[in-house]
Amino acid sequence: MEKLYLKIFALMIIYLIIFYPLQLWVDKHQKGNFDLCDKQEWVLSKQGESFQDGFIGSSRAFNMLDMNILSKELGRKTINLATSGSNFSENLLLLHLFLQNGNQLERVFIQADVYGLDSKNSYSYPFHDYVYLPYLGDSLVDQLYKREVPSYKYLMWRYIPFLKYMEFNDRYSFYKMIRGGYNCTESEFDGALGSEIHTDNGFEENEEARLKFGVNATDVKSLVDLIDYCKQNGIEVVLYQAPEYVDYVKRQKNRSEVLEEYQAILKGEKLKWLDFVGEDSLNTNKLYFKDNTHLNQSGVEAMSKSLAVKIKQMDNPD
């Protein structure tokens, strides 16, 4: 039995000798080599830039804002930090790493809707844990991983060298690393300032669209933490609700109950709220929508112009 223990101990030492320095190398490599066609990595690649307005949220911000229109109409430098199917924890994590890279923001617009407070039921993968593995060890990153992933996974990824990369070896490919990185070194996100707009003008009816929504305490906490984090970093916060097709909104069962939670947060945090669900010219025009919850290219253009007007009225109430 003693020999068995010695063998196990020896294997552990060999594992550490091989994989601990390997993990350090991959961590460093991934923080300096980015797939610029991946939205999260495009944001992580930004360093030392200054922006006046940033927009963050799920695909209802990522795919529904024309940043060039907003920049032109507002006369301000803007960036879209939103990512598809991401919850408020991921929004906070990505914003944190963005600022850690020496970037600056004056104001953040957070896209807030009935889906955001029920992220595990609204999105297929609400916290893209595999993206941020190189940043484990940062106190806020660790805090959000503990919140969003099972404890056993966090502990294994954090304390067993290289295990985190083994689990997602299809993403962290040695072939790509040794070859020198990724083919995608230029990105359409640059010209679109972080947005990706749907060009299909056909409406896709989702027969399985959800009609009842919940309020998850973790999502509420992450939203409040995101707001507080912005305030602590001197960033003004505004919440806004993007358009949804009116027929779908009418069929939703408990929408008002979920929105009451947002109103409580707005009141407690003393924030401004821009609401597009009541914008009849947008929500009632089916030709503006790709599906019940996403605008097409024409809708994005109309919404971005309307948002610019609302922001200017908010900034200059007189």
Residue 260's alpha-carbon distances to 49, 58, 102, 214, 216, in angstroms, are 37, 20, 36, 12, 13
Query: Can you give the pLDDT at residue 285?
Result: 92
| Calpha distance 169→175 (Å, rounded) | 11
Name the residue range of residue 204's domain: 48-129+187-315
Is residue 29 assigned to a domain? no
Domain count, the chain: 1
Is residue 151 assigned to a domain? no
Query: Can you give the pLDDT at residue 207?
Result: 61
Is residue 295 assigned to a domain? yes
Is residue 79 assigned to a domain? yes
| Calpha distance 228→215 (Å, rounded) | 20
H helix intervals, the chain = 2-30, 39-44, 59-62, 67-74, 88-100, 119-122, 139-148, 151-159, 163-167, 174-179, 188-192, 217-232, 246-251, 255-269, 280-283, 297-315
Which CATH number is 289's domain given?
3.40.50.1110
- pLDDT tens, N- to C-terminus, the chain (318 residues): 778 888 888 999 999 999 999 999 999 999 998 989 999 999 999 999 999 999 999 999 999 999 999 999 999 999 999 999 999 999 999 999 999 999 999 999 999 999 999 999 999 999 999 999 999 999 999 999 999 999 999 999 999 999 999 999 989 987 677 766 666 767 899 999 999 998 877 888 776 677 899 999 999 999 999 999 999 999 999 999 999 999 999 999 999 999 999 999 999 999 999 999 977 789 999 999 999 999 999 999 999 999 999 999 999 987
Query: Can you give the pLDDT at residue 180?
Result: 62
Is residue 156 assigned to a domain? no
List the one residue out of 81, 127, 143, 74 whose CA is nearest residue 311. 74
Query: Can you give the pLDDT at residue 151?
Result: 97
Is residue 292 assigned to a domain? yes
CA atoms lying within 13 Å on the CB side of residue 159:
6
Q: How many residues are present in the chain?
A: 318
Is residue 36 assigned to a domain? no
| Calpha distance 162→146 (Å, rounded) | 18
Is residue 171 assigned to a domain? no
